[in-house]
Structure 1
Amino acid sequence: MKGIISIQSHVVFGHAGNSSAVFPLQRMGMEVWPIHTVQFSNHTQYSQGWKGRAFSADDINQLVTGIDNIGKIADCQAALSGYQGSAEQCQAIINTVNTVKQQNPTALYVCDPVMGDPEKGCILADGITEQLINEVMPIADVIVPNQFELTQFTKMEINNLEQAKAACQKALSMGPKMVLVKHLHSVADDTFTMMLATESGCYITQRPQLEFDKQPVGVGDLISALFTGGLLNGMSEVDAFEHATNACYGVLKETHQRQEWELQTIAAQNELVNPSEKFRAKAV
């Protein structure tokens, strides 16, 4: 079985971070070894607040060491990282990636560089953004930023499709082999646009923009997981991109139909492996 170390946040109730990523990967046939950067009762967009705590970087390092001690790091085919609670945790991510690649040089590192969202506020501990930009993202095989995070990485303004394409191409020159922009909000108002850039070309997918009273949380975590799972299942880069688009939309459509704002990942689980919608990637 394919093994994936997923180092992200975790919520007890709902679907965000590992709670959004682990089950979809398992449903796609993966063995997932989740390591939590924080454990909260619920995601942080609830007006009532949340309970829980962050873990130390040493906690992450110890868990990876424990997996290594039983000889399983060599079976790890990908490391996936998301929300980090401290700059020290970023260093633990780097240590983990180095450990995995020493034993399995073909393993993928997929980095979702969570820096926040300008509309929700960028709430990060000191030093995380700098660590992500300068040390973590350059060593990734795949980065999965949103538009804001891509501008932070490349220092390029994005207001249209051509600028987004140029920013992706610059990002590819900075270390990563693939860039999946999980939301390009400046490209169109009535459709949800994602972009994939690789050495072979640049592509976009566009699907309907569903309107929610409160925007669901954990969508980016879901997209990163679906794309990672597709690649490890032998899909081409473009096929994995289309699968991430279509499967994520299936979950969102179920969530919308149920008038919920927590992702209805379990109810829509068949969409994770056999999406009912087929939005195709277009070369740009």
Structure 2
Amino acid sequence: MTSRLLISRLAASSCCTMADPSRRVLSIQSHVVSGYVGNKSASFPLQVLGFEIDAINSVQFSNHTGYGYWKGQVLNDSELMDLFEGLKRNGLDKYSHLLTGYIGSASFLSKVVDLVQHLRQVYPDLVYVCDPVLGDNGFLYVPKELVPIYRDNIIPLANIVTPNQFEAELLTGEKIHNLEDARRCINLLHAKGCETIVLSSTDLGSDDHLLAVASSVVGEKMFATIKIPRFPHNFTGTGDLFASLLLAWMSLTNKDLKVSLEKTIATMQGVLKRTLEFGKSKTPDGGNIAKAHLELRLIQSKGDIENPKPTIVAEIHS
């Protein structure tokens, strides 16, 4: 046997007998060549915090759609399963976490159900973090057929779900006008089997801040809120960043929801402040900041990701 062939066989053997999948994430969401949304927004923070991340891109676009013009490809359900079959055949399908974000078709989302079930057979302790990207501010981003699949098939499989207010309303059929409405929505999602629910943003705050609302029914049961200071500009990729940071900190703190919220929001604030400062520096006349100058400054925020310094405290409610 040649040395090259021997090395090849040893490598294959090593793949098929993969060790403990501690901190190994499979992330299925969108990808852009330029900018930071989807997997581009989630991968770097997870890597900085010590997680291996394998990414499957549900779409691959030149840039995010907020630019008004983009080109690219959409992965279909058959292509998703082709990629996953390759992982399975090589014994690369053992993950500590699954993270899903933007998915644009009902057939693709239905295959994710099969994928979760398989991953749990391989590693029963898999933690599934689902960001059910459906829409915002009253508008759907995806076909309406995805809503019942998330509600009836995906949510019961997820450990952690991070909808915004509009998405929580879609998934429960309940409107949120106050904190008690939010609690009722969250309890409906808990009733489907999900352990931790975080409404990543709601309009229950004030002119100065949004409010995130969170609940956990595992370990120490908790219902909490945390204020999110508003910025005078809209950013893309923030929901994807939020979900990835929450995944990381819930793992690193052994499911301490309060600390995880505080560290996640601290990191988000650091990233957004740096992004806005950069945008303003590129617009000295005080005019409208170009979209390219409001792309998240993730690389420049490595220190905030590694060592967030919370200044906003989560409030625990009875």
Q: TM-score, normalised by structure 1?
A: 0.94
The answer to whether the Cα contact below 8 Å between 1:3 and 1:78 also exists between their aligned partners in 2 is yes
Matched, 1:50 2:50: no
**Offset of residue 126 of structure 1:** 5.2
The answer to whether the Cα contact below 8 Å between 1:82 and 1:221 also exists between their aligned partners in 2 is yes
Give the structure with the higher percent helix: 2
What letter corresponds to residue 86 of structure 1 in structure 2? Answer: S
CA–CA separation in structure 1 for the residues paired with 2:137 and 2:202: 13
Matched, 1:151 2:169: yes
**Offset of residue 237 of structure 1:** 2.4
CA–CA separation in structure 2 for the residues paired with 1:20 and 1:104: 26
- For 1:61, the equivalent position in structure 2 comes to 81
* 1:1-284 map, 5 Å: 2-47=23-68, 49-74=69-94, 76-118=95-137, 121-125=139-143, 127-199=145-217, 200-212=221-233, 215-235=234-254, 236-259=256-279, 260-284=293-317
Alignment coverage as a number of residue pairs? 279
CA–CA separation in structure 1 for the residues paired with 2:123 and 2:207: 43
| Counterpart secondary structure, 1:197 | strand
**Offset of residue 258 of structure 1:** 1.2
**Offset of residue 238 of structure 1:** 2.1
Residues 232-262 of structure 1, C-alpha deviations (whole Å, 9 max, x = no match): 2244222222211111111111111112321
Q: TM-score, normalised by structure 2?
A: 0.84
What letter corresponds to residue 90 of structure 1 in structure 2? Answer: L
**Structure 1 portions without partners, runs of 5+:** none
**Rg larger in 1 or in 2?**
2
**Offset of residue 207 of structure 1:** 3.1
**Offset of residue 185 of structure 1:** 1.6
**Offset of residue 133 of structure 1:** 1.9
Identity of aligned residues (%): 30
CA–CA separation in structure 1 for the residues paired with 2:186 and 2:64: 30
The answer to whether the Cα contact below 8 Å between 1:190 and 1:209 also exists between their aligned partners in 2 is yes
Alignment RMSD (CA, Å): 1.5
